Structure 1
Amino acid sequence: MYKILGIVFFILLCNCTSESFNTQEELWVYLREKDNGYLFDKSVNGYDFSVLYKPTDLLVQQELNTNYSQEDVEKLRNKYRKYIYFTLSMSRNNKELLSSTPKNRQEFGAMVNNLAFGMGEKVHVYTAKKDTLELLDYVYPRMYGMSKSTDMLFVYPRDENYLQDKYLNITVGDLGTYTGEVKFKIPTQKIKNEPKINF
């Protein structure tokens, strides 16, 4: 009886413990392994979509200088852990949307406008109870055909009430791709126990 309880406790402990890595490169490898539950992808009508949850420590790493202290790390963790970050990637034939989708100048202009200013109306994150998370910001870096995909970073508040549900739903509206709405389900447990870097 006690042996079984011990095994159950050990399994629960393992499931609640965050993974940790010595470098951001190791963390990126882990995140990109689909079995680990941080990368989700779909192909619809010739277009490839993927959503990647971006853990706090990757943003911390970007801001640290070479002579940092543990106090610097914790200060940045406190700054960034107030939010959750998702990277959305979209491509067609291993090309950015602007390089592969518009058929004329008018369609090109409409897509540029959507990507630069309209993604708040196209991408939504909500709970199973249909509570919608407020989009705080998104970043769309223009790559001018130099990338294999259109990549954007979306920022939402980390509200523990929203993380009580088992999943967060992410929907991506049609951007003139005739793919309809593309939907992803992200397990909230993965966000709550996000992997870390050993700074």
Structure 2
Amino acid sequence: MSTTTSLFKRMTRIVMRCLILTTVLTSCTSKNFDSAEELLEYIKQPENGYLYTKSVNGVDFSMLYKPTDLLVDQELTGAYSSSKVDSLRSKYRAYLYFTLSMSKNNQELLSNVAGNKQQFGAMVNELAFGMEQKVHLYTPQKDTIAMADYIYPRMYGMSGATTMLLVYPRDKKVTNEDYFIVTIEDLGFYTGEVKFKIPTEMINNEPRIKFK
């Protein structure tokens, strides 16, 4: 084989590898949106990989991943600088945020037990103080990631669902895997354990807002 032929083949392999790498990088590029409203509309479409839903025994569950920039946008007020945006991104990037919504008969869970004083009181206490014992995130290797915080705003029957914000550390045990699992234990509606399998690729390449 001549030197020229050998060199040509080596160059061809290099070009092919570069094309493959370019394709991979392009497919993993984060999407950018002009506003929080556009970003929110995008993640609410299940086909985009940020919203997961299930219905079990008449109870509707949904898990929505909230990208970092939605949290950043909520904190920005008035004029801001790129350094302020970067600082907030660093702050919120340390965590994973999910909105968990649960409803039955298009009502909050509490509305469905309002006639049972004992059950109502127990559920209020559980929703307000005990969800870290009911919702679990773990890796394919069964490593459990402890919940960092959660926020449950009482809506007093004014909403169509029981909704709360779940916060987990952005642990490499999670982000370095292909997926992770979130489970919700039975809250008294005979659903059994509800499980969501969530791919990490979409989270690692989450969409952003073009802050101007």
Where on the TM-score scale, by shorter chain, does this alignment land: which range? over 0.9
Q: Percent identity?
A: 58
Contact 1:101/1:177 (8 A) holds in 2: no
Instruction: Report the counterpart of residue 167 of structure 1 in structure 2.
Output: 179
Contact 1:19/1:195 (8 A) holds in 2: yes
Look up the equivalent residue of 2:203 and give its one-letter code. I
The structure 1 residue matched to 2:65, chosen from 53, 76, 79, is: 53
- 165-174 vs 5-14, which moves further: 5-14
- TM-score, normalising length: structure 2: 0.89
Contact 2:139/2:173 (8 A) holds in 1: no
| Alignment of structure 1 residues 110-189 onto 2, 5 Å | 110-189=122-201
Partners of 2:19 and 2:35 in 1: CA distance: 31
Partners of 1:161 and 1:136 in 2: CA distance: 15
Instruction: Report the counterpart of residue 6 of structure 2 in structure 1.
Output: none
Instruction: Report the counterpart of residue 20 of structure 2 in structure 1.
Output: 8
Contact 1:46/1:92 (8 A) holds in 2: yes
Alpha-carbon distance, 1:103 to partner: 4.2
1:161 is paired with a residue whose SS is: helix
Instruction: Report the counterpart of residue 75 of structure 1 in structure 2.
Output: 87
Over residues 113-166 of structure 1, what are the superposed CA-to-partner deviations in whole Å (9 max), with x where a residue is unaligned? Answer: 110011010000000000111111000000011111111101111112321111
Partners of 1:167 and 1:102 in 2: CA distance: 38
Alpha-carbon distance, 1:11 to partner: 2.9
Instruction: Report the counterpart of residue 194 of structure 1 in structure 2.
Output: 206
Structure with max Cα Rg: 2
Look up the equivalent residue of 2:183 and give its one-letter code. T
Q: State the 4+ residue runs in structure 1 displaced beyond 6 angstroms.
A: none
- TM-score, normalising length: structure 1: 0.95
Aligned length: 199
What are the ranges of 5 or more consecutive residues in structure 1 without an aligned counterpart? none
Contact 2:62/2:102 (8 A) holds in 1: yes
Instruction: Report the counterpart of residue 3 of structure 2 in structure 1.
Output: none
Contact 1:98/1:108 (8 A) holds in 2: yes
Alpha-carbon distance, 1:70 to partner: 0.9
Look up the equivalent residue of 2:191 and give its one-letter code. T
Contact 1:102/1:111 (8 A) holds in 2: no
The structure 2 residue matched to 1:65, chosen from 77, 82, 94, is: 77
Q: Root-mean-square deviation (CA), in Å?
A: 1.5
Instruction: Report the counterpart of residue 26 of structure 1 in structure 2.
Output: 38
Alpha-carbon distance, 1:14 to partner: 2.3
The reply to whether residue 84 of structure 1 matches residue 99 of structure 2 is: no
Partners of 1:150 and 1:139 in 2: CA distance: 11
- 12-21 vs 122-131, which moves further: 12-21
Instruction: Report the counterpart of residue 104 of structure 1 in structure 2.
Output: 116
What are the ranges of 5 or more consecutive residues in structure 2 without an aligned counterpart? 1-11
- 188-197 vs 155-164, which moves further: 155-164
Partners of 2:145 and 2:166 in 1: CA distance: 11
Look up the equivalent residue of 2:100 and give its one-letter code. L
Look up the equivalent residue of 2:182 and give its one-letter code. I
Contact 1:83/1:155 (8 A) holds in 2: yes
